[in-house]
Amino acid sequence: MLSQSQVNEVMACFGFSAMQEHKLGCLYEDKHRQMVVVDFWDTPPSDYHYVEYTSLQNRLMHQYQGIYRFFALSEHALHSQLENFLRSELQHKVADIAIHTYGAHRNETHLDPTPPEFNFHTTFEEVFGSQYLYALRPEEVYIDLNGHRRYIDFVLHRRQGNIAIELNGERYHHPLLISQQKYLSQLYKQNSLVHDGLLVYRWSNRGMRDDFKFKEQLKDYFGDASQFKATPYFKGNRQVSFELYAHQKDAIESISDKRSQGQNTFLTVLPTGTGKTEVFIEDFRRQLQQGATQHALAIVPTVNLKDQLVARVQQQLPLVEISTEIDTPLDLTIVTNAAVVRNYQHLPSQLFDYILVDEAHRAAATGLSKALEYFTPRTLLGLTATDERLDQKKLEDIFGHYHVDLTLQQAMEHGLVPPIRVFRLESNIDFSKVRFNGKDFVKSDLQKTIQIPSRDHLIADILQKYFVGNALQKQGIIFCVDVKHTERMAQTLRSVGINAKSVHAKDRSAIDEYFAGEVQFLCACELLSEGWDAPQTSVVVMARPTMSKALYLQQLGRGTRLAPNKEALYVIDIIDNYGPALLQPWNLHNLFNIGHYRAFAEVGEYQHPVLQQELLVLDGLYEQERKIEPIDIFNFEQEFGDLFSEEQLARELFISTGTVRNWIKKQDITPTRSIPFGKSQLHYFSQESIEQIKAEKNIKPRTEATRFDDFWEFLGKRDYTFSYKIIFLLAFHANCDENGEAQTEQIAKHYQAFYQRLFTEFGQCEKENNPLNRTEHLQDLKYLTRSIANNPFEKFERKRFFYQSKELSLTAMDSLLWDKLGKQDWAKIQDQMIQDGINYFHKLGITLSKTYFEF
């Protein structure tokens, strides 16, 4: 690895000079103020935690709105990276090369998302709201500048540019723990994304466990949620003609005939060596003559095949204008798979009237499926040869779908998802004491409450009654609370003759049996709600109550795929007893705001129900259960969507949640709405009431932009009832790392040592009757930790200058404030605190020198 002086020499050749060192290397800047990071470490892993790496990366990515990062493994390696990404002639290069598979698509190989992915999704919903979840797309295919197919954990789609989110385990991504070649590959992917205009943010498990900081970072880095592209989308269906032909002429005539019958998607299989390319050229010629196409796109796997097709078309259709750049379409644009996958989202979805996919059997491996779903051509033609191993179902699935921007209700009206019919199964299980943590039910309480056999038997009875041994026998999924619940539920179903199995991360054996139709019901945990697709699923049972709209919609989505002989999706909501609580879990009726209920009635047809064959079966067997009855519904999003919770109010006012709750308890402020929930109340505030609180409490406008000035104003007041603030700031600065974080215990130990020294030397360490003047308090580190949290920390927290992560035992400065405070600022703070400390204790008759304050 290069030394810093060697790196400086290489960077100078590219016009960069060193600007700021960090633990793994240095930040460089050129005359155009372009910034790059170069790593050339000499640091043992034990001295550098991965959260430090991701924190620095995210801070720089946000500060400079995109930054390249290079690894100085050798002079040649560094030169090569700089040439690839910084030379102007390469800035607009399109990867027009063959795609090489790199890694696997988790949705194709895993039943569920990883816990970090699930936690990220849940926190995103909590910060921005469920209405913006559609902007967050998991497991997106990406082709890097080298033609490697990669996968991005999440992509946030925004109007001002997309964001790539990578959730990394330390063992597999820490540069000091993985191989040098793997780290180079990781950086190549990241730099390719930055080159293509995406910002790249990384979080580790440790970074996400710091709940307060993580939420603040999401707000800072992702920007205004109103700029998210959050339109819901569903897959429409194309009718695919899959045919094998012996001759070109047969294929061409068949395509013409079927097009005249209204079909527009064709998968054509011809024997090897019969000239399948001629099928496209002739059909394309006919469409040109008929004026049915203005812009056509031909997609081929390799550059050689692209050049061959260009030559063939020029020879046979010399008047056709050909482009080989996807962003400059002419009569016919001929490009490789890589060019399409890398660029399709920047083009209008209706740009091409005619799309050819040559070597169609490679579409799945190269990630073309997303692009084909995106475009809506009049003709989509896939060509392949019979000597390839074909998976007809896979090909039809890739070519047979396209995306439409519709709500779930609109998608049902357009026939893009099956009709949804709902049954409300009411239990008398008391959920009124299940706690709510602000975003969902406390899982430990759910586990205790749902462990009641009678509730499981109710579900088993209703499934046996309607979906076993009659014309309506269907396959389905029951969403449970945890693994034990899945196993217990499956056993209960088997006891009444239903073939059911439990499925979870440690036991996936039932999946293949379910796809083969050998298992009728799967009992699954909540993580099955993403990353799995079984169109034949016709019954979804919500046995796990949730306050998360995202989780409810994901679970519902497991059954919203169309499939042959699937006339509807049957949803069974379990309606438990929540006592007087107005706040209730999501169910289909509050999701669609339906105020009436009739068993298995179709959503959207309560006023004018349409009798269908399977409903006649239900009517005949169970007429007494088919009556329409009014029900009380509560749609939280509709009722409270514009209101602020206690935590959101605290953020808005830049005070602590404890202060808000204290004001409510003293009736200093009045919530706009309050919801009884178990033994407690959930309080919400309108924007008008917030403005009134600001006026009554004389709270001046404070924002992230004013945080730096607010901090200096706070220090400038020199308001010291006790000396706590002085010693806290000095102890924090002595222990904090480069990310503005310090171990709470270490702060408390320095705090303790300072006051113990004063007590030993002067017989007191604070004002008369102060609790710190008692030996038992000074010797009790836990007491001192609690004391610091109450005062002075709470005063800093209220202003949003500091926060604590109790789970990680960390005390941290607000990241925006930390980034703005430089070395000179901290020197000024330290000088002020020492002088203020000397003056404070002088008033108590205690004379101290600067050395007492040097931690």
Question: CATH topology of 234-405 equal to that of 642-696?
Answer: no
User: Taking the CA of residue 647 as centre, how many other CA atoms within 13 Å lie in the half-sphere pointing to its CB?
Assistant: 9
What are the φ and ψ backbone dihedral angles of 35, each rounded to 5 degrees? -110, 140
CA distances from 665 to 203, 361, 433 (A): 38, 66, 22
- CA-atom Rg of the chain in angstroms: 32
Nearest 5°: CA angle at 280, between 279 and 285? Answer: 105
Neighbours of 721 (CB within 10 A): 10
Confidence at residue 628, expressed as pLDDT on a 0 to 100 scale: 36
Q: Give the domain ranges of the chain.
A: 4-223, 234-405, 417-637, 642-696, 704-853
Distance of CA 748 to the CA centre of its chain: 36
Burial class from Cβ neighbours inside 10 Å (0-12, 13-18, 19+) for residue 517 reads exposed
Is 197 within 8 Å of 91 (Cβ atoms)? no
Two tokens, residue 758: 């004063």
Q: Which residue matches tokens 């460089």?
A: 28
- What CATH number should be reported for the domain whose range is 234-405? 3.40.50.300
Neighbours of 136 (CB within 10 A): 21
Instruction: Provide the CATH topology of domain 417-637.
Output: Rossmann fold (3.40.50)
Which residue, 227, 557, 593, is CA-closest to 420? 557
Two tokens, residue 74: 């050798």
Q: What is the dihedral of CA 212, 218, 219, 225, to 10 degrees?
A: -140
Measured distance CA(106)–CA(486) in Å, rounded? 23
CA distances from 378 to 294, 323, 332, 368, 766 (A): 11, 20, 15, 18, 82
Q: Which residues have C-beta within 8 Å of that of residue 695, sequence separation ≥ 6?
A: none
Biggest alpha carbon–alpha carbon distance for the chain: 106
First-residue to last-residue Cα distance in the chain: 37
Query: Which pairs count as long-range contacts for 790-793, CB under 8 Å and 24+ apart, including other chains?
Result: 791/722, 791/724, 792/722, 792/724, 792/725, 792/728, 793/728
Q: What is the DSSP letter of 129?
A: -
Query: What string of H, E and C letters represents the secondary structure of 78-127?
Result: HHHHHHHHHCHHHCCCCCCCCCEECCCCHHHHCCCCCHHHHHHHHHHHHH
CA distances from 137 to 102, 532, 577, 827, 839 (A): 20, 14, 35, 45, 57
Is 355 within 8 Å of 398 (Cβ atoms)? no
> What is the mean pLDDT for each group of 10 consecutive residues in the chain (855 residues)?
93 94 93 92 83 92 95 93 77 50 49 68 83 85 83 92 91 89 94 94 89 89 89 59 64 87 83 72 90 92 87 91 90 90 86 91 71 88 63 59 60 79 68 51 52 75 80 81 88 93 80 88 68 79 76 79 84 65 56 59 50 38 36 49 77 77 91 70 87 89 84 93 96 91 94 96 95 95 92 82 81 88 95 97 96 92
Two tokens, residue 643: 């209101």
Confidence at residue 450, expressed as pLDDT on a 0 to 100 scale: 52
Measured distance CA(652)–CA(644) in Å, rounded? 9
Confidence at residue 495, expressed as pLDDT on a 0 to 100 scale: 93
Bin 538: left if φ > 0, else alpha if -120 < ψ < 50, else beta: alpha
Measured distance CA(746)–CA(617) in Å, rounded? 71
Is 100 within 8 Å of 148 (Cβ atoms)? yes
Confidence at residue 566, expressed as pLDDT on a 0 to 100 scale: 85
Bin 65: left if φ > 0, else alpha if -120 < ψ < 50, else beta: left
Two tokens, residue 647: 């935590």
User: Taking the CA of residue 851 as centre, how many other CA atoms within 13 Å lie in the half-sphere pointing to its CB?
Assistant: 1
Measured distance CA(659)–CA(661) in Å, rounded? 6
Measured distance CA(698)–CA(709) in Å, rounded? 18
Measured distance CA(766)–CA(79) in Å, rounded? 61
Q: What is the DSSP letter of 45?
A: G
Confidence at residue 617, expressed as pLDDT on a 0 to 100 scale: 36
Give domain 642-696's CATH architecture.
Orthogonal Bundle (1.10)
Which residue, 503, 493, 508, 509, is CA-closest to 524? 503
For strand 475-479 and strand 521-524, is the pairing parallel, antiparallel, or unpaired?
A: parallel
Neighbours of 541 (CB within 10 A): 24
Amino acid (one-letter) located at 143: I
Q: What is the dihedral of CA 826, 831, 837, 842, to 10 degrees?
A: 180
CA distances from 431 to 174, 435, 489, 523, 577 (A): 44, 9, 19, 22, 6
Confidence at residue 629, expressed as pLDDT on a 0 to 100 scale: 41
Q: Which residues have C-beta within 8 Å of that of residue 356, sequence separation ≥ 6?
A: 280, 284, 296, 297, 298, 299, 381, 382, 383
